[in-house]
Amino acid sequence: MSPTQDIDSLKRMAALASVDYIRDGHVVGLGTGSTARYVIAVLGERVRAGLAIKGVPTSEETADLARRAGIPLLSYEEDWSIDVAIDGADQVDPQLNLIKGGGGALLREKIIAAAARQLIIVVDHTKRVPVLGNSFPLPVEVIPFGWPNTARRIEALGGKTVIRQRRGRIFTTESGHYILDLHEGHIEDPAALETQLNRIPGVVENGLFVGRTDLLIVGTPRGVEVQQAARQ
């Protein structure tokens, strides 16, 4: 088995365990990315076997996958009441704070995570880190108008930004924004940085998800590990 196949089986393992938290009648937030893809595939199998749920997708890619898997979807304009959202993450710290947005869907992911009564994060063990940042840049979604100026203001908080590109052109999110990937070493205070970034005019949202995860499900070579958030 190649290392990639190995990681994929760990992602699938976590995805499979997460679906056990979904009940008949649930409205489910559907995440974006390669781990969320496994969640959608397994949910689709359960729907075809009779599970009655509705999904709210965090991206067009996810909406497409869900439709093909037979999962009925609610429209973007509805006032959803989401029971559980299941999503992946790029990094998870011991307090279950996250960096998300590697796939560029962080804005919709954050809206859906905030709307859900329970947020379940599914990852393979390589996503666990003692401190966020360093090996993974923090995605910051900005409006195109004046983005170099916004980038400078972000860098004034520390670190260097790189405008995200795809196939030689600036990457545009589904909401029509750009992403600045912020390389800034260890993020010692994720809550403070999340707030400071969002105060800069031109910043729409950032990929720090602080205090939002309820349950973390990790696929590891030793099996599935589940960690509940400690709430004060």
- Catalytic positions, please? 109
Examine residue 137 and tell whether it contacts ligand 5RP (CB under 6 A). Answer: no
Nearest distance, CB of residue 109 and ligand 5RP, angstroms: 6
Examine residue 9 and tell whether it contacts ligand 5RP (CB under 6 A). Answer: no
- Window 108 to 127, contacts with ligand 5RP (CB under 6 A): 109
Nearest to 67 by CA among 83, 54, 50, 52: 54
Examine residue 219 and tell whether it contacts ligand 5RP (CB under 6 A). Answer: no
CA distance 207 to 229: 19
Residue 154 vs residues 131, 176, 184, 193: alpha-carbon distances, Å = 20, 20, 11, 10
Q: How many CA atoms lie within 13 A of 153 on its CB side?
A: 15
Which helix (H) or strand (E) element contains residue 112?
Answer: helix 106-115
Choice between 98 and 151, CB closer to ligand 5RP: 98
List the Cα angle 186/116/108 in 5-degree steps.
60
Nearest distance, CB of residue 37 and ligand 5RP, angstroms: 8
Nearest distance, CB of residue 61 and ligand 5RP, angstroms: 10
215-220 and 116-124 as β-strands: parallel, antiparallel, unpaired? parallel
User: Residues 65-104: x/- map of binding to ligand 5RP (CB under 6 A)?
Assistant: ----------------------xxxx---------xxxxx
Nearest distance, CB of residue 135 and ligand 5RP, angstroms: 13
CA distance 89 to 124: 9
Size of the residue set binding ligand 5RP (CB under 6 A): 17
CA distance 187 to 141: 18
Examine residue 190 and tell whether it contacts ligand 5RP (CB under 6 A). Answer: no
Nearest distance, CB of residue 140 and ligand 5RP, angstroms: 13
Examine residue 29 and tell whether it contacts ligand 5RP (CB under 6 A). Answer: no
Examine residue 34 and tell whether it contacts ligand 5RP (CB under 6 A). Answer: yes
> Helix (H, G, I), strand (E, B), or coil: what is residue 167?
coil
User: Could you tell me how many helices (H) and strands (E) the chain has, helices first?
Assistant: 6, 15
Binds ligand 5RP by CB under 6 A, chosen from 29, 31, 190, 202: 31
Given the rule CB under 6 A, which residues bind ligand 5RP?
Answer: 31-35, 87-90, 100-106, 109
